[in-house]
Structure 1
Amino acid sequence: MATSASVSNLFVPQARGRVRPLALARWLELTAAMVVMIVLVGGITRLTESGLSITEWNVVSGILPPLSEAAWQAEFAKYQDTPEYRLEAALGGMTLADFKFIFFWEWVHRLIARTVGLAYALPLAWFWLRGAIPAGYKGRLLGLLALGGLQGLFGWLMVQSGLVGDMTDVSHFRLSLHLLTALALLAGLVWTARDMRLVARDPGARPAPLTLGAALVAGVLFVQLLLGAWVAGLNAGHAAYDWPLMNGRLVPSVDWSGGVLWTLTHDPFLLQFLHRWWAWVAVAALVWLARRVRKTDRFASVAVHTAFGIMVLLGIATVMSEVSLWIAAAHQLVGALTVAATVRAMHSDGIARRGARAA
């Protein structure tokens, strides 16, 4: 009977488990760092126009790159059937060596995506079976897993949009959906990690509430990130290379003949203009949030100020460098770090406001 009971316990380890919120927090923070990395590589992939170099999604066989010259030729032949190659790359005389360069970035981007998935799913299963997850958090952790899967699906739908008709680029709407879902995942990981650290200090701690002020700041930042994604998707960074003027004008010339809605979502001059100047609305909102949490979480306050300051400078440098690859990639990287810093400050604001109400 004792042996039978021992075997039975193997299938219900959570009944004898011990919650480990600090270990969960560290795991979530590591996963968040990997998401920041994939955002950076995704930016490089877009800037080098590498996203359409792999025309299929093979979950298992796609892990390895082509390993022979014949395999490389076969992949190149698939790319040569795409509108991007026929209408753009072929005119520039793309060689197999050129193709290998863009293939590398898309392959690395997908490899990191797979790694992030495994780095989240496998430890989640382990923590679950060990009974290490605090009460009330299993649903949220599963939701983050689902969000990660959805982000990958959006990535493939984005690629598909550039493989049809006469499209030489992916849909900027799908690109923004792919990027913003990744940033939402990053936000969820950071917020949940902060909650886990609360539980590590106080097992009875409740999750941090989202305050109205923090939600408004998040909304302002969301608009700026959306505009940035559209600028990237439409290559609108090339609409003007001077700053603060655009082609010598404070307000650029915009063609409204396509209608207000179409112009607001497609005109590269207008979108770069909006991205430039909405940035200052975002700066004002972030300064307000950073000052609001300065006394209760000085690290978050300094992180927010530092992140948005560097992001603005890199944005200006991106324009004036005529969209230098590494400056533009750094701009996207710091954008992701700004999201992480802002979410930490929002979390701290919720804890502080709740404490103030209780007092």
Structure 2
Amino acid sequence: MLAAERRVRANRLAQRIWLGAVLVAIFALVLVGGATRLTDSGLSITEWKPIHGVIPPLSEAEWQEELELYRQIPEYQLINKGMSLDAFKRIYWWEWAHRFLARTVGVLFALPFVFFLVTGRIEKRLRWPLFGLLVLGGLQGAVGWWMVASGLVDRVDVSQYRLATHLTLACLIFAAIVWVMRGLAPHSPDPVPSDGLRRGAGVLALLVLVQIYLGGLVAGLDAGLASSTWPLMNGALVPDGLIEIVPAWRNFFENALTVQFVHRMGGYLLFALTLWHMLAALARGQGTTHSRRAVVLFCLVAVQALIGISVILTQVPFSLALAHQGWAVVVLGFAVAHWRGFHGAYPMETEVRVGH
């Protein structure tokens, strides 16, 4: 093996370890974000303090100050009026942990990126894409505050539009990192069975992301409680009350029953297409790594469907709802890795060096 190629492989291994650590941190961030939503903790911190906010209240006076700020918003006045300081601390810590993890992800991405960049370890084709991910991370912080701000005036919760956007952007960043990380890894030499399978894998990854967006709407509206039966909804395949809001398009974002119905239909579609993709991969590329990945993807989607059904039937318990959100990220990550697997590793750029 040439010395230059060995250097590139060493760089790629180091960057995969870095990006893998970022993925783990983002996964934890999504889980804590889900817990924050499920415990109604997201509005407990009413100010955006990107730097000072790293330090939580350290004295009784500071805790009282935070509680007093919370007492000014509608959620406290209409839902939690009279909340004790101890009860407030419980919801505060969830939101603080979520914001702290978000800052940690930013540092975990930014500092190694700068190091790899200035020492010449990042291949030219990846410099701008990775910088773009850094910018998206900063944008995600602003979107998070935009979401929280929607619940501080005239509402007792955050906007489902903004919550779904916040969740989807986090998952888009996660997916993009998986794509880059997978491209830096060695690939199987198995030939691609067909261009149709490659395109199909891309469609599936996109559908998973759409399902996550719809899940964000479900979470924002507490739409998981709109119907607690399966396979029928309120005794019907297509329940009454799906188009109650005028204009009609708003039902798909603001009518809890409609949002759950669309999320269910999206789940059925994803399950069916993943099954078709697996069967096609087995027929056209049996024994290849591509077909094996297709089988794994179908199994992951099937597990997610079972978790989703359980969430509905048990009326959205904390543990199952959180598992459903976390497993969605697992499915997305594997779907993107599967899609990326059809494209092979990035060609070597042997002029990339190890810093001195």
* 2:83 corresponding residue in structure 1: 94
Q: How many positions carry a matched residue from both structures?
A: 325
Distance (Å, rounded) in 1 between the aligned partners of 2:132 and 2:180:
11
Task: Name the SS of the counterpart of 1:53 in structure 2.
Answer: coil
CA displacement 1:308-341 (0-9 Å, x = unmatched): 1221111111111211011100100000101001
Task: Tell me the CA shift for residue 215 of structure 1.
Answer: 3.0
CA contact (8 A) 1:289 1:345 kept: no
CA displacement 1:274-300 (0-9 Å, x = unmatched): 111220101122234445377224663
- Does residue 343 of structure 2 align to residue 350 of structure 1? yes
Distance (Å, rounded) in 2 between the aligned partners of 1:89 and 1:290:
49
Task: Name the SS of the counterpart of 2:315 in structure 1.
Answer: coil
**One-letter amino acid of the structure 2 residue matched with residue 182 of structure 1:** A
* 1:120 corresponding residue in structure 2: 109
* 1:357 corresponding residue in structure 2: none
CA displacement 1:222-246 (0-9 Å, x = unmatched): 3322211101011111112222222
CA contact (8 A) 2:252 2:262 kept: no
* 1:243 corresponding residue in structure 2: 230
* 2:173 corresponding residue in structure 1: 185
Q: Percent identity?
A: 41
Distance (Å, rounded) in 1 between the aligned partners of 2:58 and 2:300:
41
Which residue of 313, 318, 321 maps to 2:314? 321
* 1:134 corresponding residue in structure 2: 123
Which residue of 62, 67, 74 maps to 1:71? 62
Distance (Å, rounded) in 2 between the aligned partners of 1:44 and 1:289:
33
CA contact (8 A) 1:173 1:230 kept: yes
CA contact (8 A) 1:236 1:268 kept: yes
Higher mean alpha-carbon deviation, 131-140 vs 256-265, is at: 256-265
- Does residue 334 of structure 2 align to residue 334 of structure 1? no
* 1:155 corresponding residue in structure 2: 144
**One-letter amino acid of the structure 1 residue matched with residue 203 of structure 2:** L
Task: Tell me the CA shift for residue 178 of structure 1.
Answer: 0.6
Distance 1:67 1:271, change over 3 A: same
CA RMSD, Structure 1 to Structure 2 (Å): 2.2
TM-score (norm. length: structure 2) = 0.86
1:195-210 alignment runs, 5 A limit:
195-198=183-186
Task: Tell me the CA shift for residue 257 of structure 1.
Answer: 4.2
* 2:209 corresponding residue in structure 1: 222
Task: Name the SS of the counterpart of 2:176 in structure 1.
Answer: helix
- Runs of 4+ aligned structure 1 residues displaced above 4 Å come to none
* Runs of at least 5 residues in structure 2 that lack an aligned partner in the other structure: 1-6, 190-196, 346-356
Distance 1:194 1:72, change over 3 A: same
1:291-310 alignment runs, 5 A limit:
291=279, 292=281, 295-297=288-290, 300-310=293-303
CA displacement 1:99-129 (0-9 Å, x = unmatched): 1111011000011101111110001111112
Higher mean alpha-carbon deviation, 111-120 vs 131-140, is at: 131-140
Distance 1:213 1:302, change over 3 A: closer
Higher mean alpha-carbon deviation, 32-41 vs 237-246, is at: 237-246
* 1:47 corresponding residue in structure 2: 38
Distance 1:285 1:321, change over 3 A: same
